[in-house]
Structures are given as structure tokens and as C-alpha cells.
């Protein structure tokens, strides 16, 4: 069975709606990346050095990242030699396979949140201002509410003007309470009160916002570590997830932020927002490969349910959707002619 048919079979019928969201959300990336790959495959009649060089340029321009591109091209060269491929069209499914492998990582395709089966689950959100952190918290709160969970929000970003009010607006929209202090208050004190409130109310999930920048001399990473200590002291093992929110439209800058926060704050997962607004969706591959931190969610639009669990197979399937249908048709026709 071909890679395309295997890929399609693994994505069950019950996920068709999610797949369509990926397809719509990745339209710009598909136009900028996959269509260029298709054009390259059509123009080039053989897999030679010029073919590899042009493929490198396409991948780098899609923000896949130089280091990741070099690794990918080396892997493709090995596969071409091993499988004795000559026709560029035969390389496309190999490229798809390699992208799925890079995005899945060592833990496979399970990028779900690692939360306790019982008791209070605490999720901490970190990231610089303007990446969509508060919006992500609101959308995830909605998601948990839809699952029947009791949710509480903690307004730990006490330094950015309007941050507390913005979280409150989301709380009202979703129908969950927000624990807050006055602007400029100690974020760790907010977290302490939020944990106590969550315990008292029998909350299932506590979602905690944090500052992306401080307006005083206190080091941001030190402030975050203080928050960790407060939460961990009250709930052993918490926070259970530390999600770094990144703006996909910033490309390589998002990768720099991932490295900064990933090294300092014990990040367990990534959320890439505004993926629908960029042609450089290849940054997902670069971050996943260079950071070895799973992408847990991606933002594919403005609607409440447009925050989707990341799935590497669906990501690649959505990118190559048109080409997959074409190749399936070709394969079926070849069988019919045989």
C-alpha cells in the first residue's frame, strides 16, 4: 500500500472535520511551500544536485530552518540511494514521510496534554507579549468546558496594561471565573490565591496566565521560577504542563523565543498561534526539530474552536491534500491499466 493511502487510512473518518480545519488554516503555507515543491517536481526530470539545491531554497524560504533543512536533505539523499529513485515524483511521498517523522519526534504522534487522571490539574502559560497567550487560555478554557470540566483562570500577568481585563473578558465569554489582584501586584501571590480557590471549589483545571515582560528590574525568569515554587509547594507535581505560546507569523523569531524560554522555564509543550495567517508554516517543523519539545496546539483561526490539538499526520496531510488525491488517482489508474 502506498504512503498516501496509509496516511489517509490512519486519519479516521471521525477526524474529517478537524482535517478540514487544518486544510483551511494551512492554505497560505500550502500555496507558498507545497505548490513550489509540486512545480519543482514537474519541471525537473531527474533527481540531481540542482534539484536538491532548489528544494533546499524552497524549504528555507518556508522557515523550516537551515539546520533542519540540511538534516532533511541528507535523509532524502540516503533514501534516494537506498530506494534507487530517479523520478522526482517518487520523492514526494518520501518527503511527506520524513516530515511526519520530524514532527512526531521520539514520543510518536501523541501530543496530548499530560494531566493527572484525578485531582486539580494546573497548566501554566508562558511567552512574550503579543503572541496570543491570553486568547489561547480563553480558547483552551472553552475546550475544557466543552468536555464538562470545571475550569478556573488565574490572572498572573499583572504588569501588562489591560491583561487582567482581557482575561476577564474571556472568562465571561467562556463562562469561567477569574482569580485576580490589582495591576502591579505580585504574580506569585495571585497564583497562591488561585490555587487555594481551585482547591476550595473542587476545580478540575486551573489555567494560569503569566507576564511576558516586566516593567521593573526583576528578572522575568526569576519571577516565573517563583511562580513555579508557589504552585509546586501547594500541589506536588504541579504545574503539570508549561505551555510556551509562540506567534507562528514571526518565523525564526519564534524559534529564538522557544530556545530562550525552553532553556529557562521547563517548557513541556508549545502552542503555535496564527498559523492560518502565515505562509511560513514550516516554522512548526523547525521548532519541533531543534527544540525537541512537542507542539501541543496550533491556532488555525479566530473562532473559539479554532485552537486545535496538533497532529503531525494531519498537518502533512493538509499540506499535501491536493497532491495526495492526484497521486491516489494515478495509482488507481495504473492498477486499472495493468
Binding residues for GTP: 127-134, 209-213, 273-276
CA 88 to chain centre: 30
Q: Nearest to residue 98, comparing CAs of 123, 117, 71, 118?
A: 71
* Number of neighbouring beta carbons within 10 Å of residue 106: 6
Q: Which residues fall in the annotated binding site?
A: 127-134, 209-213, 273-276
- Lookup result for grid cell 466543552: 146
190 backbone dihedrals φ, ψ, rounded to 5°: -60, -45
Instruction: Round to whole Å and give the CA distance between 169 and 138.
Output: 9
SS (H, E, C) 188-252: HHHHHHHHHHHHHHCCCEEEEECCCCCCCCCCHHHHHHHHHHHHHHHCCCCCCEEEEEEEHHHCH
- Lookup result for grid cell 495493468: 338
CA 139 to chain centre: 14
Instruction: Round to whole Å and give the CA distance between 296 and 5.
Output: 26
* Number of neighbouring beta carbons within 10 Å of residue 214: 15
Q: Nearest to residue 248, comparing CAs of 338, 130, 111, 150?
A: 130
Q: Is 241 left (phi over 0), alpha (psi -120 to 50) or beta?
A: beta
Amino acid at each position: 500500500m502506498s504512503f498516501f493511502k496509509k496516511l489517509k487510512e490512519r486519519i479516521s473518518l471521525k477526524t474529517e472535520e478537524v482535517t478540514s480545519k487544518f486544510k483551511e488554516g494551512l492554505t497560505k503555507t500550502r500555496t507558498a511551500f507545497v505548490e513550489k515543491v509540486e512545480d519543482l517536481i514537474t519541471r525537473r526530470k531527474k533527481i540531481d544536485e540542482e534539484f536538491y539545491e532548489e528544494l533546499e531554497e524552497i524549504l528555507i524560504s518556508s522557515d523550516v530552518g537551515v539546520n533542519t533543512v540540511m538534516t532533511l536533505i541528507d535523509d532524502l539523499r540516503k533514501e534516494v540511494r537506498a530506494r534507487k529513485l530517479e523520478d522526482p515524483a517518487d520523492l514526494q511521498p518520501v518527503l511527506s514521510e520524513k516530515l511526519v517523522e520530524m514532527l512526531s519526534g521520539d514520543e510518536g504522534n501523541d501530543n496530548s496534554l499530560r494531566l493527572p487522571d484525578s485531582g486539580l490539574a494546573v497548566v501554566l502559560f508562558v511567552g512574550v507579549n503579543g503572541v496570543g497567550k491570553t486568547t489561547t487560555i480563553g480558547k483552551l478554557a472553552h475546550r475544557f468546558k466543552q468536555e464538562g470540566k470545571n475550569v478556573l483562570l488565574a490572572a498572573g500577568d499583572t504588569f501588562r496594561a489591560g491583561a487582567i481585563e482581557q482575561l476577564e473578558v474571556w472568562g465571561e465569554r467562556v463562562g469561567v471565573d477569574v482569580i485576580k489582584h490589582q495591576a502591579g501586584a505580585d504574580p506569585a501571590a495571585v497564583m497562591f490565591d488561585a490555587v487555594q480557590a481551585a482547591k476550595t471549589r473542587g476545580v478540575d483545571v486551573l489555567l494560569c496566565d503569566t507576564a511576558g515582560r516586566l516593567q521593573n528590574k526583576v528578572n522575568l525568569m526569576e519571577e516565573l521560577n517563583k511562580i513555579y515554587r508557589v504552585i509546586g509547594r501547594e500541589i506536588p507535581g504541579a504545574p503539570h504542563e508549561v505551555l510556551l505560546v509562540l506567534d507562528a507569523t514571526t518565523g525564526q523569531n519564534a524559534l529564538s523565543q522557544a530556545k530562550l524560554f525552553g532553556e529557562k522555564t521547563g517548557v513541556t509543550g508549545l502552542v503555535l498561534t496564527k498559523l492560518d495567517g502565515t505562509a511560513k508554516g514550516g516554522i512548526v517543523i523547525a521548532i519541533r526539530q531543534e527544540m525537541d519539545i512537542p507542539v501541543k496546539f496550533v491556532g488555525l483561526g479566530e473562532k473559539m474552536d479554532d485552537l486545535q490539538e496538533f497532529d503531525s499526520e494531519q498537518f502533512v496531510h493538509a499540506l499535501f491534500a491536493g497532491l495526495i488525491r492526484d497521486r491516489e488517482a494515478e495509482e488507481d489508474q495504473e492498477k486499472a491499466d495493468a
